Chains A and B, each alone.
Chain A
Amino acid sequence: MTAPLSGLLGAEPSFVTAGASLLADALSAQAAPVEQVDWRPPAHGTPQALARVAADPRRESANATAVERLLGAGARLVDVRPAGEALGLAPGQFLHAGPPITWDRASGPLRGALIGGVLLEGLAGTPERAQEVLERGDGIELRPCHAAGAVGPMAGVVSPSMWVFELEDPVHGGRAWCSLNEGLGKVLRYGAYGPEVLDRLRWMSAVLGPLLGSAVRRHGPVDITALIAQMLQMGDEGHNRNRAGTLMLLRELLPDLLSLDAPGSELAEVTRFVGGNDHFFLNLVMPACKLATDAARDVPGSSLVVTMARNGTDFGIQTSGTGDRWFTAPARTAEGLFLGDFGPDDANPDIGDSAITETGGVGGFAMAAAPAIVRLVGGDAAYALRTTARMYEITLAESRAYTVPVLDFRGTPTGIDVLQVARTGILPQINTGMAGRVAGTGQVGAGLVTPPPECFAQALEALAEAAPPL
């Protein structure tokens, strides 16, 4: 029989204190070890809402269940297919990044990408006509990628003729999709829609997609989580830096590619395209994280964040315990370093589904694994370590698969908890590229951004309403 109160009365005294440091000082003066909490009043949420969520009897096991599913999910690349087929997209239907949005509220890069999509699908012949079509909205339907089980970087526009990666989670049976990464510069996802953009997209649908699909089917499923785990130990973080991941993917698929019955010139184009695009693997990290977070959805009483996404105007989050509800607020603009002559005024507000990487415990949450990226975004190595360390305060668990060498192979902080964000005021740290606010400008810089806190305040209220009263 264990001693009552877990042996409190017989044990050597040692304390954790939260509040007046005088109290802690009086304990130290009695030679008792004290661990002080750096406490400050909760940044968001009313005391009643906070207490109600904390008191929810389902909370502990709900979060444990949800985060275990997140951590335990697998992700394998099984195919590459046209979106019309894989996602059932009909002509006139377009997916986009972030929470639901209408044309009139959309920012420059998203509008540009939609114009490009309309042109690509042949629904209009000129950009001006395309714009009219989109303004009128006849025969046009816009939905978030997330609603279709997909994710898309930056503007994230997916149309029926674009090919998408198809991934499956062998543990929980889910599927997720993501477009193929076009590369840098003037590309659709940054809102460019000129002839070279469309030509490239057509080539990707005619050559890249089909050949990759055949290679993947020939190879068999490619374990993406294993590649992510390795890339983190090679200086990548999975959001802003994906070079090692891209090369490992290429290494994986090259033999199968080369043994396809296709013209050598096409194979050369494909390998040059993939190998020359340092961000190619981002479009696999994202759906892998989507699979993990989707597995954690819909656990009543869980305050785990399962989506963080931006559409260039709004930032939206979803939690496991609040179903499909989006909690949105105006997206912030990243702070960091600018390319060339660009400056803060050139940057569009935060955009893209790529924050799914942070939601899944990589990207900004693995910054300590990629000190190089910190310099790109204007910080230093110590900053990277401190930021990752802070993220442990707002997450439910540490990744088992994704570990960071410089932290003694500690798992990345995984599973953002709305309650902890509200209490500590620490916002999830996202590493991101910045799009130009004028459609088609392309990338203007890269930096650090956080979600607007209102998203978490709203989510907290919703969780409190769903929790039993005290």
Chain B
Amino acid sequence: MRTVAGPQVPVAASTAVGPLLRTSATGSVLAVFPAAVYVRLASGAVVAVVTSDGLRLPNALVVAAARTDAPFARHAPGGRAAVTGGALVLDGVRYRPVRTWTPRASTGGTLQAHAVAALDARLTAAPPAHAGEVAARLRAGAAALGQALRTGAGLAGAADALLGLGPGLTPAGDDVLAGALVTCVHLGTGVPALAVRVRQRAHATTALSADLLQHCAEGRTSAPVLGVLDALVGARPLGPALDALLAVGSTSGSDTATGVLLAARTLLDRREDA
């Protein structure tokens, strides 16, 4: 038996959104799903409220209920949101942080060439996730991003060609960027120029995606992505970790994996050159 939401719901809040909750702000509900509610605040920041068995995004407040308890049934897109008294209030329901969780921001260890090769092999063998014009642009954009990461030049242009490209809550191009960004932060030294461009061009994509890209630029992402990063440093087997990532969304996982691979290959090349 699990208890479903009343007017006050205790949540475990990501330390990454802690500062946001100490302000006062208004906003509105962007979207409601069985396992998540996305809220956009006036500042443009996005906060997610997710179920305990949902995808734990770095901007998430986690409730104890599971998706089968339908805890978000009373919320609807366009609903009123406010941050007040340290809590997030949606449609009158007060989501009150009672403890925190910290999104992991780094992966220890050394990039393993064989793991990167295995990732490459699996993604090459996988059926194409996209078709038509989107697929073509995505390919071109990914190639350009790879090149830009290698040379350090053309990062802005590469970002512009990917940001907002493709259908979906988090457009395919954004997912590629996200995967690349977070990999460079965890396993390299980050890509400030790319992070800056992505922030400047936040308006080119959906609010949720822009927010998640921001977190990625600071090294914060969800567990399935972290799992693959762990596998790339040899801390766990790649197979199941990649399966878990590919299961995210319909193409989101595989697009993110593409970005991770791009960045990982660049980091390896750089290491070999050094």
Contacts and interface: CB of A to CB of B under 8 A. Distances in A.
Chains A and B share a contact (CB less than 8 Å): yes
A27 B12 CA distance: 12
Given A12-B101, A34-B64, A28 B1 contact: no
A30 B10 contact: yes
Contacts of B3: 28
Contacts of A33: 2, 52-53, 64-66
Contacts of B64: 27-28, 31-34
Contacts of A104: none
Interface string A43-87: 000000000000000000000000000000000000000000000
B263 interface: no
Contact of B12 (A31, A34, A35, A36): A31
Interface in B146-161: none
B199 interface: no
Nearest to A29: B10
A38 B1 contact: yes
A14 interface: yes
Given A12-B101, A14-B52, A31 B1 contact: no
A31 B99 contact: yes
Nearest to B8: A29
Interface string A95-115: 000000000000000000000
B179 to A, nearest CB: 23
B98 A31 contact: yes
Contacts of A34: 2, 64
A217 B148 CA distance: 79
B185 to A, nearest CB: 21
Nearest to B12: A31
A28 B62 CA distance: 12
Contacts of A29: 10, 98
B63 interface: yes
B116 interface: no
Interface residues of B, number: 17
Interface in B179-212: none
B11 interface: yes
Interface string B6-18: 0001111000000
A30 B98 contact: yes
A28 B10 contact: yes
A32 B2 CA distance: 11
A30 B53 CA distance: 16
Contacts of B62: 31
Contacts of B9: 31
Interface in B1-55: 1-3, 9-12, 52-53
Nearest to B62: A31
Nearest to B61: A31
Contacts of A28: 3, 10, 64
Contacts of B11: 31
Contacts of B65: 33
A430 to B, nearest CB: 28
Interface in B87-107: 98-99, 101
Contacts of B99: 30-31
A38 B1 CA distance: 8
B98 A36 contact: no
B58 to A, nearest CB: 14
A61 to B, nearest CB: 28
Contacts of A14: 52
With a 10 A CB-CB cut-off, give which of A12, A29, A30, A31 has the most chain B CB atoms: A31
A27 B52 CA distance: 13
Contacts of B12: 30-32
A34 B11 CA distance: 14
Interface string B212-248: 0000000000000000000000000000000000000
With a 10 A CB-CB cut-off, give which of A27, A28, A34 has the most chain B CB atoms: A28
Nearest to A30: B98
Contacts of B1: 35-36, 38
A246 B207 CA distance: 64
Contacts of B10: 28-31
Interface in B60-115: 62-66, 98-99, 101
A1 to B, nearest CB: 11
Interface string B124-150: 000000000000000000000000000
Contacts of B63: 31
Nearest to A32: B64
With a 10 A CB-CB cut-off, give which of A27, A30, A33, A38 has the most chain B CB atoms: A33
A12 B66 CA distance: 14
Contacts of B101: 12
B221 to A, nearest CB: 16
Interface in A1-24: 12, 14
A453 B93 CA distance: 48
Contacts of A12: 52, 101
A27 B1 CA distance: 13
A155 to B, nearest CB: 45
A38 B63 CA distance: 22
Contacts of A31: 9-12, 62-64, 98-99
Interface string A409-423: 000000000000000
B35 to A, nearest CB: 13
A27 B99 CA distance: 11
B92 to A, nearest CB: 19
A27 B11 CA distance: 11
A36 B1 CA distance: 5
A270 to B, nearest CB: 53
Contacts of B66: 33
B36 to A, nearest CB: 15
Contacts of B98: 29-31
Given A28-B10, A31-B63, A31-B98, 16 more contacts: A12-B101, A31-B9, A31-B10, A31-B12, A31-B62, A31-B64, A31-B99, A32-B12, A32-B64, A33-B2, A33-B52, A33-B66, A34-B2, A35-B1, A36-B2, A38-B1
14 contacts: A12-B52, A28-B10, A29-B10, A30-B10, A30-B12, A30-B98, A31-B9, A31-B62, A31-B63, A31-B64, A32-B64, A33-B66, A35-B1, A36-B1
The 3 closest A-B pairs by CB, nearest first: A33-B52, A31-B10, A31-B12
